[in-house]
Structure 1
Amino acid sequence: MIEKVKKIVAHFKRSTQANEKFMKYQSNHLRIEQPKKLVMEVVTWWNSTYLMIKRFIELREAVKATTAVINKEWPIVSQEEWTNLELLVSVLAPFEEITSSLSGQNYVTGGLAIVLCNSLRDICQEMLQNRHYIDAEIVQNVLIKLKSGLDSRFQNIEQSKTLALCTLLDPRFKLEMFKSDTNKNPIKEYCHEIMADILSRQVPTTIQVAPSATVSGSSVWNEVDSQLSKTRGFIQSNQGDAVVLGRRNFAPAKR
């Protein structure tokens, strides 16, 4: 299926005449002021495959119309394959979204690692339970591999003290995005120990709670916001001033 797309795109990239007809069809029949070119994947750029398929689907009408008037044996893309391509784009979209978002940041915060990994795993699981993806065997296999890869690579991500502490101290997330309750107490205690050590050395500390960040309407951030809205309650502990500071700053924000 992907190979068919690549062969069609490759011809439009090689043939000036075919590309001119393709661009004219967009201008004359689709009324597109600035016609778009098809995108070819790049081996070293993983999300270029996603971008290639997305553009191919976006310009489906122009692709069909132009190939029909060019005397060439084109790969035949069936209706089922068009549907699978659309589903595949929706599967890869959250991964591409995160890649583009993180690549565009000068300083990526460690607190996002657990949040984004858990959200991607949730999204994959939700899709695997959706009839549209279940009925499309090819797309379902892609989902299974993606979910399996996330589970195997990031199974113990919440046990990383560095990443867990970054998430805990991020006022947008705190403990609310942790999937496992067994990982919450250890990182709370670890943070309390750090704060107690700072207080014992009488280092002046001013702690301010930053306002919750506004998240975008994307599928990944919708998943994050959904998880945050489900959690309530305050953190309990038994360590003096460190605990007081912890309660003040780690308690879920009122919604």
Structure 2
Amino acid sequence: MNLAVQENFKNTEIQPILKKCKVIVTFFKSSNLATTKFKEEQRILWRGTVDENKTPYKLIQEVTTRWNSCFQMIKRILLTSNALNSTLLKLKNAPTPLTADDIEILKDLEKCLSIFDDATEKISGSKYVTVSLIIPISFGIYNFLNTANISTDLGKLFCQGLIESTRNRLFPYESRTITRISTILDPRWKKDGFRSAENANQASCFLDQEMSPLMRNLKNNEGNEANGSTNSPKSCLFGFMHEKNQQKSRNHIADAIIFKRQYLERQNLPEDDDPLLYWKLNNGELNPLQELVVRYLCTPGSLVESERNFSSAGLIINERRSRIKEKYVDQLIFVTKNAWLLS
């Protein structure tokens, strides 16, 4: 998602309006007088309204390593556009204020980028399953951009670029093993989370293949338990049926399909429900699928959690604890990241 947005920021048609915003923000960040005037102007505009006692806003500066900082910059400029232009007109050597056309373009850019901001926040969580969100989020972004009401030509150009980047960078996840199996194993999405029905069917077939060896092991264990039982049915009136059933070769793929069908035909969970709780409650009934859930849904959906672990390690290892052993660092990070489970 980061790359999909960043490559469209480099569009030569978009650069002038973004550069204008950056110049304005830099001007206020480098001048205490301008910042003070900006805050006073906000208080004047809020006088007599419900926002009268609110703390005045500051402008947000873009950071090149974070795409959403540009979105936050645009969002804050639009939020304070009246006070911002009024302040710029009153100050000497100030940048050119934003025109009405500039404001309309920025509104379209904000509208297009808002869905990416929501998706970034959703996929960056650490206390819930994220890997199964990748394919539905990609579908959601694509659908939102195709139906967004964009009014300016520059906004439409930017939106079309985002649609193309989404198609090129995010759609391939529908054909990757971990993401497609995770999506179909999430009771909130199943096959409905896929944009393409063909990709959903391929994921379903691949799930059969993954379940087949698990079904074989399960049947072997059941057979061993039956053979070790002291109550042999051979002496019973219908013991011959037991012998015939034992002689039949079991089709493990067929068993896997039956289990999978039982799961897929159930009603999907609401999107806010916890899929792990669902699998915990259905542990015995859908046991072969349970093993795949443990294997696939533990995968993080992004690198955000790894970066958080690096930050935690940086706080643990400092000058006063420079000789701490690796195993203790590992244990401390583990406790830090999983302490929330105790509650």
Q: TM-score, normalised by structure 1?
A: 0.77
Whether the aligned pair in 2 keeps the contact of 1:26 and 1:32 (CA below 8 Å) is no
Q: What does 1:189-204 align with in structure 2 at a 5 Å threshold?
A: 189-202=205-218
Q: Which runs of 4+ in 1 moved over 3 A?
A: none
Whether the aligned pair in 2 keeps the contact of 1:114 and 1:178 (CA below 8 Å) is yes
Deviation at 1:190, TM superposition (A): 2.0
1:37 to 58, 62, 68: 58
Question: Which residue of structure 1 lines up, in the alignment, with residue 165 of structure 2?
Answer: 149
Deviation at 1:3, TM superposition (A): 1.7
Question: Which residue of structure 2 lines up, in the alignment, with residue 180 of structure 1?
Answer: 196
Question: Which residue of structure 2 lines up, in the alignment, with residue 124 of structure 1?
Answer: 145
CA distance in 2 between counterparts of 1:243 and 1:4 reads 59
Q: Point out where structure 1 has 5 or more consecutive residues left out of the alignment.
A: 206-237
CA distance in 1 between counterparts of 2:134 and 2:90 reads 49
Question: Which residue of structure 2 lines up, in the alignment, with residue 223 of structure 1?
Answer: none
Whether the aligned pair in 1 keeps the contact of 2:183 and 2:190 (CA below 8 Å) is yes
Question: Which residue of structure 2 lines up, in the alignment, with residue 74 of structure 1?
Answer: 95
1:246 to 260, 263, 266: 260
SS at match of 1:80: helix
Whether the aligned pair in 1 keeps the contact of 2:88 and 2:94 (CA below 8 Å) is no
Whether the aligned pair in 1 keeps the contact of 2:27 and 2:95 (CA below 8 Å) is no
Please state if 1:97 is matched with 2:114. no
Range 12-21 or range 179-188, more displaced: 179-188
Deviation at 1:32, TM superposition (A): 4.4
Whether the aligned pair in 2 keeps the contact of 1:174 and 1:252 (CA below 8 Å) is no
CA distance in 1 between counterparts of 2:146 and 2:45 reads 41
Whether the aligned pair in 2 keeps the contact of 1:7 and 1:75 (CA below 8 Å) is no
User: Cα 1:252–1:125, aligned 2, differ >3 Å: closer, same or farther?
Assistant: farther
Question: Which residue of structure 2 lines up, in the alignment, with residue 233 of structure 1?
Answer: none
CA distance in 1 between counterparts of 2:166 and 2:186 reads 23
Q: CA RMSD in A?
A: 2.3
Going by fraction, where is helix more abundant, 1 or 2?
A: 2
Once the two structures are aligned, what percentage of the paired residues are identical?
26
CA distance in 2 between counterparts of 1:74 and 1:248 reads 65
Q: TM-score, normalised by structure 2?
A: 0.59
Paired residues in the alignment total 218
SS at match of 1:176: helix
CA distance in 2 between counterparts of 1:17 and 1:146 reads 38
